[in-house]
Structure 1
Amino acid sequence: MPQKVELKRSMGIWSGLSLVIGTVIGSGIFFKQAGVLQTAGSSTLGLLAWLTGGVITLAAGLTIAEIGARLPKTGGLYSYIESLYGPVAGFLTGWMQVVIYAPAVIASIAGYAAFLTANFIGLPTSSATWIAVIYVAFIAGINLFENRVAASFQVITTSIKLIPIAILIIYGLFFGKVNALGQTVSDTVSHGGGFGMAILATLFAYDGWILLANIAGELKNPRRDLPRSIVGGVSLIVVAYVGVSFGVYHALPSDRIVALQNNATFAVVRAAFGDFGGRALSIAIIISMLGTLNGKMISFPRMAYAMSLDGLFPKYLSKLTRKTQEPTNAILTVALMTIALAIVYTNGVDRLSDIAIFTIWIFYTAAFFGVFILRHQTLDKNVDPATLFKTPLFPITPLVAIIGALFVIGSTVINDFSGAVISIILVLIGLPVFYYYQHKRQQQ
Structure 2
Amino acid sequence: MSVTDAIAVIVGIVVGAGIFRTPSMVAANTDSSGMFLLAWVLGGVVSLIGALCYAELTTTFPNAGGDYHFLTRAFGRKPAFLFAWARMSVIQTGSIALLAFIIGDYVAQMYSMGELSSVFYAALVVVILTGINLIGISVGAGAQKLLTALEILGVLLVIVAGLFFAPADAAATAPAAAPESGNALGLAMVFVLLTFGGWNEAAYISAELRSGRRGMARAMIVSILLITAIYVLINLSYLNILGMSGISQSDAVAGDLMRLTFGEGGLVLIGVIVALSALTSANATIFTGARTNYALGRDFPVFSFLGKWNPRTSSPVNAFLVQGAIALALIGLGYITRNGFETIVEYTAPVFWFFLLLVGISLFVLRRKEPRRHRPFRVPLYPLTPLIFCCTSAYLLYSSLVYTGLGALVGVAVLLIGALLLLALPTLEKLQAAKKA
TM-score normalised by the chain length of structure 1: 0.76
Whole-Å separation in 2 of the counterparts to 1:328 and 1:49: 41
2:399 pairs with 1:406:
no
CA distance in 1, matches of 2:29, 2:139: 41
Could you tell me whether the CA contact under 8 Å between 2:105 and 2:251 is conserved in 1?
no
Q: 1:68-100: CA deviations, max 9, x gaps?
A: 233333343333222221122111122122123
Aligned residue in 2 for 1:21? 14
> Which residue of structure 1 aligns with residue 54 of structure 2?
64
Question: CA 1:112–1:266 in 2, change beyond 3 Å: closer, same or farther?
Answer: closer
Residue in structure 1 matched with residue 378 of structure 2 by the alignment: 390
1:429 is the counterpart of 2:417: yes
CA distance in 1, matches of 2:301, 2:227: 34
Distance 1:233 1:299 in 2: 24
Q: 1:236 to 1:334 in 2, by over 3 A?
A: farther
Residue 322 to residue 38, structure 1, CA distance change in 2 (3 Å): closer
Please list, as runs of the form range in 1=range in 2, the aligned pairs for 1:232-247 lying within 5 A after superposition. Answer: 236-247=226-237
- Return the match for 1:358 from 345, 350, 363: 350
Equivalent residue, structure 1, for 2:171: none
**One of 188, 209, 231 as aligned partner of 1:198:** 188
TM-score w.r.t. structure 2 length?
Answer: 0.77
CA pair 187-105 structure 1, distance change in 2 beyond 3 A: same
Could you tell me which of 235, 243, 247 is aligned with 1:254?
Answer: 243
- Contact 1:15–1:155 (8 Å) recurs in 2: no
Check if 1:224 corresponds to 2:183: no
Unmatched 5+ residue regions in structure 2? 169-175, 210-215
SS of 2:382's partner is coil
Alpha carbons of 1:177 and 1:391: their partners in 2 closer, same or farther (altered >3 Å)?
A: farther
The one-letter amino acid paired with 2:361 is: F
1:391–1:295 distance in 2 versus 1, CA, 3 Å: farther
Greater shift after overlay, 227-236 or 329-338? 227-236
Cα 1:410/1:102, change in 2 over 3 Å: same
Give the Å deviation of 1:202. Answer: 1.3
Structure 1 position 121 matched with structure 2 position 111: yes
* Aligned position for 2:295: 306
Tell me, what secondary structure is at the counterpart of 2:158?
helix
**Count of aligned residue pairs for this structure pair:** 412
Per the alignment, residue 363 of structure 2 pairs with: 371
- 1:430–1:263 CA distance, 2 compared to 1 (3 A): closer
Q: Any idea what SS the aligned residue of 2:63 has?
A: coil
Aligned to 1:53: 43
Structure 2 CA distance, aligned partners of 1:39 and 1:135? 29
1:389 aligned counterpart, secondary structure: coil
User: Could you tell me how far apart the structure 2 residues matched to 1:438 and 1:150 are?
Assistant: 42
Structure 1: state its 5+ residue gaps.
1-11, 179-185
> Which of 269, 277, 290 lines up with 1:288 in the alignment?
277
Q: What SS does the aligned partner of 2:300 have?
A: coil
Contact 1:211–1:300 (CA under 8 A) maintained in structure 2:
no
Contact map agreement 1:142 1:150 (CA 8 A) in 2:
no
C-alpha deviation, 1:361, in angstroms? 0.6
Root mean square deviation, CA, Å: 4.0
Instruction: Tell me, in whole angstroms, the C-alpha distance in 2 between the residues paired with 1:313 and 1:14.
Output: 41
Read off the aligned partner of 1:20 and give its amino acid letter: I
Deviates more, 1:307-316 or 1:320-329: 320-329
The CA deviation string for residues 248-293 of structure 1, in whole angstroms up to 9 with x for no partner, is 33x3373564576346533443454332112101111211221231
**For the Cα contact (< 8 Å) 2:103–2:278, is it kept in 1?**
yes
